[in-house]
Amino acid sequence: MLKQLRNKKTAKKVWIALAVIVVPAFIFWGFSSALRGPKEGGDVGRIYGKRISSLEFRDSLEAVKNQAIMQFGDNFSEIQRYLNLESQAWTRLLLLYETARRRIKASNQEVIEAIENNPLFQRNGKFDNKIYNELLQYVFRTQPRVFEEQTRQSLVISKLYSKITEGVSLKDDAVKEEYRKANEQLSIYYIAGIIADFAKDIKPTQEQLLKFFAENSLQFKQPLSFNLDYIVLESEEAAKNAAAIAAKTKSLDKAAAELKITVKETGLFGQTDAIPGIGWSPDILMLASKLKIGEVSPPVKVDKYCYILKLKERKDPYIPEYASIEGKLKHTFVQEEAKKLAGQKTDACLKELKEAYQKNPKSADFNKFAKNFGLKSDSTGLFKFGSYIENIGVSDEFWKAAQGLKDNEFSGVIAMPPGFYIIKLKEKVPPDENKFAQEKEAFTQRLLGQKKEEYFNKFLEELKRKAQ
């Protein structure tokens, strides 16, 4: 334990972003499980050939969990299932390996200041030892010495981040361009070939569907599929007990009956699908692929529950019979034909628009040409890059195309999920220069943070590649 921490008064009231326990979330976007090898003598994997023991991995997992609690607070329990803490734990171990290789360290004094300056442990702007100990005991469920070592590790990771990104900078021109991109507003006129509009009038015959199925049968091939019986346990201790009973009786049903719980069935699901009743779980999918028919698995934990599984059925990849997928087949045929037709109509419209524009720019009337080809025409209100345009979708592609257009000039065909579009600039409102001057410093810092994050993530990706 760092005894000095108990008596030392707060030296600073400023929360220093890179000197706190919560390392920025982007550092922990996930580490490939490919680094994990077979469990030999308690080892759970390797990094650069170095064995990682189950104890080391458990400590790393506890550390990232504590970081997540500090970052998300009361919302942690709700979003825990989306965080993939196990993957984050591997990332943390990799980064700590790199800090050790570079001999990056954090002193006791730095650890003291990081904890004292954490607002979570303060009352009226000063470190409160009672709050600190109560939070460690009842929220983090971690001993002070362990928590302080986690803090030290997070500090050295922060130093690594600072070291790697210290050369990242921004020129004024780049800042101004990004500000313009974020704040310039545009509105457009558009012609739209909407796929759904053409789909309404397509009525395929059975002969067409049979021919389409014969030519595209591989498109409907079903993947390797499994059907599992399973029981759900709320604790690892209960799961171990259930597994012992199942092993002794060689029956999942008998184990469930003895424990007075229900055996559930998933029904057939593909190896790339979410598991009915359980959700997405790479661990269960991997386990299912190795089980024999009737074999009962060891416990596997997913989120806060433990599962014991029995493989009830395995179905190899196959092409289904026409009759069993006729509805899906019809929908796919209609969508493909409608998309093809919408694209052809929009292309033809653009061709005639160009011809009319070359003869007389004012004669290239959007509404007239859209009507001639059975397409829609309309206009939008002002929108920014990254915003949502009503009835169209995300604005990025339209913003990119429109911001370079001159008056009365129109774009090429823009393909979007709903259909195909031709656009013309209606209005352009540039950013306010005075507002830019006021916001420049704060905007530059945010943009610089994003650039550093991108740079560090590339560095981390390279670390992962080398470590495997």
Report d(CA 64, CA 73) in Å as an integer: 14
The mean pLDDT value for 338-361 works out to: 93
**pLDDT (tens digit per residue) in 35-44:** 444 444 457 7
* Predicted confidence (pLDDT) at residue 136 exceeds the cutoff of 90: yes
Three-state DSSP at 211 gives: helix
Sort residue 411 into left (φ over 0), alpha (ψ -120 to 50) or beta. beta
The predicted pLDDT at position 281 comes to 86
The predicted pLDDT at position 2 comes to 39
Tell me phi and psi for residue 151, to 5 degrees. -60, -45
Q: Which is nearest to 149 in space by CA: 118, 103, 113, 106?
A: 106
Buried/exposed 265-290: b ≥16 CB within 10 Å, e otherwise: ebebbeeeeebeebeebeebbebbee
Alpha-carbon distances of 205 from 88, 199, 326, 330, 338, rounded to whole Å: 53, 14, 12, 9, 15
Helix (H) or strand (E) holding 108: helix 108-116
Tell me phi and psi for residue 430, to 5 degrees. -70, 160
- Which amino acid belongs to residue 189? Y
* Predicted confidence (pLDDT) at residue 5 exceeds the cutoff of 70: no
**pLDDT (tens digit per residue) in 237-290:** 899 999 999 988 889 999 999 999 999 999 999 888 889 999 888 889 888 989
The mean pLDDT value for 216-235 works out to: 92
The predicted pLDDT at position 331 comes to 96
Report d(CA 161, CA 8) in Å as an integer: 28
Three-state DSSP at 267 gives: coil
Report d(CA 326, CA 349) in Å as an integer: 34
Q: Which of 14-28, 66-80, 309-323, 330-344 has the highest mean pLDDT?
A: 330-344
* Predicted confidence (pLDDT) at residue 71 exceeds the cutoff of 50: yes
Q: Which is nearest to 96 in space by CA: 39, 50, 33, 42?
A: 50
The mean pLDDT value for 305-322 works out to: 92
The reply to whether the predicted model has a pTM over 0.85 is no
Assess contact for 342 and 198: CB atoms under 8 A: yes
Q: pLDDT above 90 covers what percent of the chain?
A: 68
List the single range of 26-30, 248-252, 266-270, 313-317 with lowest mean pLDDT. 26-30
460 or 36, higher pLDDT: 460
**pLDDT (tens digit per residue) in 398-419:** 999 998 898 888 999 999 999 9
Report d(CA 154, CA 156) in Å as an integer: 6
Report d(CA 171, CA 179) in Å as an integer: 12
Strands (DSSP E) contained in 162-279 are: 185-194, 225-233, 264-265, 269-270
**pLDDT (tens digit per residue) in 158-207:** 999 999 999 999 999 999 999 999 999 999 999 999 999 999 999 999 99
Please list the residues that pair with 47 across neighbouring strands: 50
The predicted pLDDT at position 42 comes to 59
Name all domains of the chain by residue range, CATH numbers in brackets.
Answer: 4-166 (no CATH), 185-216+324-429 (3.10.50), 222-315 (3.10.50.40)
List the single range of 110-119, 268-277, 374-383 with lowest mean pLDDT. 268-277
